[in-house]
Chain A
């Protein structure tokens, strides 16, 4: 049995918790959250202890094999180090950390302590993205020339409005666009140049939007749109090559649409977690692969820490491009 200590009982913490409930190989051994009410609400559901902070949870000897971290990005670093130091494996939501230096450090530490560091780049487990990547690899559309990727939605409402604090979340690029950045790196390899324009620095607290262009070593021109200025969550891509086009739009290419009548509509809260009916959600597929790799120490995780590092690096360089207002050579 793999004991999971869950840190952060917010939107993503609950998504992870609902997976562990289903996976017979795992058991949640405790819930940590700085907000007692939130933490207890979740720990009560699992009849496990609640802790105010990770230090006390680890000290109290919660029988954890892995610490799963679902807190605002800026706090990832400390919590990862703490978990690794006490001999735990780590599952952490993307982005790995808020800064590159922190990422280097936690990766090195995990290596030295021989612990797994599993980062939630969940787009790799969305079958539409995986399938597109497979088709491209099979040469279905020939040599790729232009790739559009887009991820738009409302400004996320969360604990203490932390997404609005650039120092905590990194804004729409570091928090949201990083998903597509990971997908592009996974599919097309190395980037040579970045150009970017966005609302960051133009003073819109509850609105963020960025248009970014990547030039890849293999010649692909990728254009990324990331938005916290839209009303409906939507992901899209349009990838064109010498022999064809692969296009996807989450609002059209789905098997179920639920239109709620306003009278019964619950107040919208939290970030939108994309859902499309599948036997296992992408989050479940991701966590299953993480637990698989913990159960079998020889298994190669689907997302290596180095992949998470690259996605973070390109996201941070994109922020640099936004700030500098000109091309950034990678």
Chain B
């Protein structure tokens, strides 16, 4: 495959513009943005105008014209887009969380397998150079044996359908837990053994939305970890949020703040803002996905199973909260 023809299955997710921009500005030598399907035609038309490609009102028609589809629909609506793409032998990049239920994620994984297509979960944090460095430190035994990890992925409430649990599957816990679980799974090469969560809710436009949570998990290799997934950065906070991991090992501690390569900018117009000068991990993720599609190999393969494993932890967190106790994996 020389150039990859790319389509979007809706522009609902806030990350869609980032991928479209990456295609247009960074990956134009290997891929073309062919078209955008969106059931919200105003949104779809505007995206097509901004990033190029045609606006499609018929998803099947889009699929006929592309090699891969980027599914950035609402969390709960990924499944039909993924299933019909797989059936037509199109490769798929699916936004995280892969789905909002285990059954949906399993159906996607099975379909991709059956039709022999790439199903790639969008966990861009794996491409952060700081995270990679951390992984290399740990693999080289530089900090001894890992004992514990304190992690945060804080941010702001994205608004819109993110506050409608039927479309989002949940609030902050669903939105942010998965990034850190995925990175820890990748680095520790272990699975989560038990989960506890304290979760807080706020009523937003008549819906009860979880906008904060602290999860505590234990991994199968005995490492314990906490995850702050809260939408706890206010509107005037100098940046959107963070991804941090503090890793305690027998021989040392490593602190990673993946988005802390920043200028401190003070302007009369905006007050204090961080301006990030680090690498663009969305570009790196998309580049790697396209390499897998073109050549059958790439840097890391973030599979549907990886997406599902992370989703499960978010779901267990809600279960732990409902039950008011720790949930051990495999109980029941």
Contacts and interface: CB of A to CB of B under 8 A. Distances in A.
Contacts of B222: 202
Interface stretch (A69-77, A108-116, A218-226, A272-280): A218-226
Interface stretch (A173-181, A205-213, A261-269, A298-306): A205-213
A309 interface: no
27 contacts: A145-B200, A193-B198, A195-B216, A195-B326, A196-B216, A197-B148, A197-B226, A199-B147, A204-B250, A207-B250, A209-B248, A211-B148, A211-B150, A213-B198, A213-B226, A221-B198, A221-B200, A221-B213, A223-B228, A225-B150, A227-B248, A231-B252, A240-B230, A243-B234, A244-B234, A326-B196, A327-B196
B233 interface: yes
B253 interface: yes
A148 interface: yes
Contact of B230 (A146, A213, A244, A325): A146
Nearest to B246: A225
B200 A219 contact: yes
B196 A195 contact: yes
Interface of B: 147-148, 150, 152, 154, 196, 198-200, 211-214, 216, 218, 222, 224-226, 228, 230, 232-234, 236-237, 246, 248, 250, 252-253, 324-326
B211 A145 contact: yes
A213 B250 contact: no
A146 B216 CA distance: 15
Contact of B253 (A199, A219, A230, A325): A230
Main secondary structure of the interface of A (DSSP, over half): strand
Contacts of B154: 240
Interface residues of A, number: 34
A249 to B, nearest CB: 11
A100 interface: no
Contacts of A242: 234
A145 B230 contact: yes
Nearest to B215: A213
A172 to B, nearest CB: 12
A46 to B, nearest CB: 40
Given A209-B147, A327-B325, A245 B216 contact: no
A271 interface: no
Contacts of B218: 197
Contact of B224 (A193, A197, A215): A197
A211 B158 CA distance: 28
A202 B250 CA distance: 12
Main secondary structure of the interface of B (DSSP, over half): strand
B148 A231 contact: no
Contact of B324 (A209, A229, A325, A327): A327
Given A244-B236, A327-B196, A211 B228 contact: no
Contact of A211 (B213, B226, B234, B326): B226
A25 B196 CA distance: 52
A322 to B, nearest CB: 10
Given A141-B234, A145-B211, A221-B200, 20 more contacts: A145-B230, A148-B152, A193-B198, A196-B216, A197-B216, A197-B226, A199-B147, A207-B147, A207-B250, A209-B148, A211-B150, A211-B224, A213-B216, A219-B200, A223-B214, A229-B253, A240-B232, A243-B234, A244-B236, A327-B324
Q: Which 6 A-B pairs have the closest CB atoms?
A: A240-B232, A197-B224, A211-B226, A221-B198, A223-B214, A326-B326
A325 B214 contact: no
A224 to B, nearest CB: 10
B214 A146 contact: yes
A209 B225 CA distance: 11
A240 B228 CA distance: 12
A73 to B, nearest CB: 24
A146 to B, nearest CB: 5
Given A195-B198, A327-B196, A327-B324, A146 B232 contact: yes
A215 B252 contact: no
Nearest to B232: A240
B184 to A, nearest CB: 14
A326 B325 contact: yes
Contacts of B253: 229-231
A221 B233 contact: no
A318 to B, nearest CB: 13
A159 B224 CA distance: 31
Nearest to B152: A148
Interface string A152-194: 0000000000000000000000000000000000000000010
Contacts of A199: 147-148
Contacts of A204: 147, 250
A146 B326 contact: no
Contacts of A230: 253
A159 B147 CA distance: 27
A121 B194 CA distance: 35
B147 A229 contact: yes
A10 B253 CA distance: 29
A219 B147 CA distance: 30
A140 to B, nearest CB: 11
Contacts of A141: 234
A235 B232 CA distance: 20
A325 B248 contact: no
Q: Which of B211, B214, B222 is packed against the most chain A CB atoms within 10 Å?
A: B214
B234 to A, nearest CB: 5
B324 A221 contact: no
B232 A245 contact: yes
A49 B253 CA distance: 45
Contacts of A202: 147, 222
A152 B216 CA distance: 19
A30 to B, nearest CB: 42
Contacts of B234: 141, 240-245
